Amino acid sequence: MPTTDRLRGILDLVESSLDEPELTGDDLAARAYLSRFHFDRLVSAAIGEPPGTFRRRLLLERAAHRLVGSDDPVTDVAYASGYGSPEAFARAFARAYGEPPSAYRHTGRVHHRLPGASGIHFNPPGGLRLPALTRSTTMDVLTRMLDHHLWLVGQIIDRMDRLDDTTLDRPIELSVEGIDDNPTLRSLGDRLVGQLEMWVGALEGATSMPPEGDRTAAGLGRRLEVVAPRFRALVVAALDEGRAEETFVDAVCDPPETFTYAGVIAHVLTFSAVRRTLAVGALETAGISDLGSGDPMQFVGGSGSDASQISRTPAR
């Protein structure tokens, strides 16, 4: 199923029409500024089922959810689903679900999906659920989380370069006990980069801590350019080769300690998330707010088959 603006437009159109069940196929085509013939062809090609079939299925799925989840009379549900009479609705519902609506509402079922070529279903209370376009593994998700971390650290450092030393060294009043004492933007940037340098050294068998690096914004950027691809390559190789539980000895610790790649990944992503959040907050205090909260949702998860904005209109 292609992820295009055209598809998003179709889905928005169909979803918004669920609250207007009296609309005909000609009405929907007109709203799409297409002839009925071209509209039907376009929708069928995009989602694998004719628009009329698709829309009727979504209305029945919504009706099933409403029957089980409310005390609304079957008659009201029938008319809200676009049927001219309760009898016509009961026949269509029974064909789809194998029992009449009056009996179905007492089944206590949670899922009401009907077979559909598109894989798109009604999602309570008032949206659509789209299938994933590609299969993702745990490794894929972890890699995207790591990529987001490395990207966001770079973005933070880039914006630090716009600030003067007084701002970079100004104490951040909101901190997290036990992670960093008296943090500043500069110290957070140094810790975010230094953490990567420390673990690259440990993973590569270093016997001493990396030397203190340049703490200017430009210097932090140069350090990140060196260490980020090295850290990513080590982690991705371990994940790709199924070595996440492989242990290694960190000889820098006194006494030396044993860790796993999985533990390092979890450690870095956990503690760096705190530091990144403090850093983007400090940037906003300094007047730079374009990074928002640094939320990884869109970076890691995309927009849900390009349809995360499909509406959340309450079902009636």
Which amino acid is present at 276? R
**Spatial distance between the Cα atoms of 139 and 143, rounded to a whole number of angstroms:** 6
The number of C-alpha atoms within 13 Å of 274 and in the hemisphere containing its C-beta is 16
Indicate the pLDDT class of residue 315, thresholds 50, 70 and 90.
Answer: very low
Alpha helices in the chain (DSSP H): 5-17, 25-31, 36-47, 51-69, 74-80, 86-97, 101-104, 138-160, 165-168, 185-203, 217-240, 261-285, 297-301
Of the candidates 204, 213, 217, the residue with the CA atom closest to the CA atom of residue 248: 204
Query: What would the mean pLDDT of 267-294 be, rounded to a whole number?
Result: 94
Which amino acid is present at 225? E
- 164-168 contacts at long range (C-beta below 8 A, 24 or more positions apart): 167/286, 168/217
Encoded tokens for 161: 């370069």
Does residue 1 have a pLDDT over 50? Answer: no
The sign of the CA dihedral 269, 271, 275, 277 is: positive
Specify whether domain 138-301 bears CATH 3.40.430.10: no
Query: What would the mean pLDDT of 253-258 be, rounded to a whole number?
Result: 81
Q: CA 197, 202, 204, 209: dihedral to nearest 10 degrees?
A: 60
- 138-146 contacts at long range (C-beta below 8 A, 24 or more positions apart): 139/239, 139/240, 141/300, 142/239, 142/265, 143/235, 143/236, 143/239, 144/299, 144/300, 145/269, 145/296, 145/300, 146/232, 146/235, 146/236, 146/265, 146/268, 146/269
Three-state secondary-structure class, residue 84: coil
* Residue pLDDT, tens place only, 16-72: 777 787 788 888 888 888 899 988 888 888 778 888 888 888 889 989 988 988 889
Of the candidates 68, 57, 93, the residue with the CA atom closest to the CA atom of residue 78: 93
**Spatial distance between the Cα atoms of 66 and 313, rounded to a whole number of angstroms:** 14
Tell me whether the CATH fold assigned to 5-129 matches the one assigned to 138-301: no
Encoded tokens for 152: 């966001």
**Spatial distance between the Cα atoms of 19 and 12, rounded to a whole number of angstroms:** 12
Indicate the pLDDT class of residue 160, thresholds 50, 70 and 90.
Answer: very high
Of the candidates 246, 267, 250, the residue with the CA atom closest to the CA atom of residue 258: 250
Of the candidates 257, 262, 227, 258, the residue with the CA atom closest to the CA atom of residue 241: 262
Question: What share of the chain has pLDDT > 70, as a percent?
Answer: 88
Task: Kindly list the domain boundaries of the chain, sorted by start residue.
Answer: 5-129, 138-301
Query: What would the mean pLDDT of 83-112 be, rounded to a whole number?
Result: 90
Does residue 279 have a pLDDT over 90? Answer: yes
Contact yes or no for 256/267 (Cβ under 8 A)? no
The dotted CATH code for 5-129 is 1.10.10.60
